[in-house]
Amino acid sequence: MKRILSIIFLPILLVLFTLSCQKEAGEGGDSSIHGYVHVTDYNASFNYIQGEYDGVDLDVYIIYGDDISYGNKTKSGPDGKFEFKYLRKGSYKIYTYSQDSTLSGIAVVSKDIEITEKKESVDAGTFEIKVN
């Protein structure tokens, strides 16, 4: 009887253990996501460009997998570049905020990023934001 129970439950336990060891998107890995924030400075009515420059010291956020809110944030450097390190394989959303001419005055600029390999460095590209 014990032998039959062990034959039945051992595979079930192994499957449960394997599933519990799979890690979701988030911190704790060897991968990274990096990108760049570019700013276009408009006048108050957003119809004239006053200048363009690197997005210095701006908040950039990351959402891990299907989470509802951001899991971490970083600031862009003096060259507009940012990086999120120590990530695992999985899906991520990177975003920052931009001003716009709507009633709210704020727009989200986001990109969905997928890390598919260990030790992968993914370029999220340029995030174009507007200010006035």
Strand-pairing partners, residue 106, are 99
pLDDT-derived band at 12 (thresholds 50, 70, 90) equals low
Of the candidates 123, 34, 15, 19, the residue with the CA atom closest to the CA atom of residue 85: 34
pLDDT digits (tens, 9 = 90+) for 52-72: 999 999 999 999 999 999 999
User: What distance in Å separates the CA atoms of residue 26 and residue 30, rounded to the nearest whole number?
Assistant: 11
This prediction has a pTM of: 0.79
pLDDT digits (tens, 9 = 90+) for 91-111: 999 999 998 877 678 999 999
Give the model's pLDDT for residue 27. 75
Domains and CATH numbers, the chain: 25-131 (2.60.40.10)
pLDDT-derived band at 33 (thresholds 50, 70, 90) equals very high
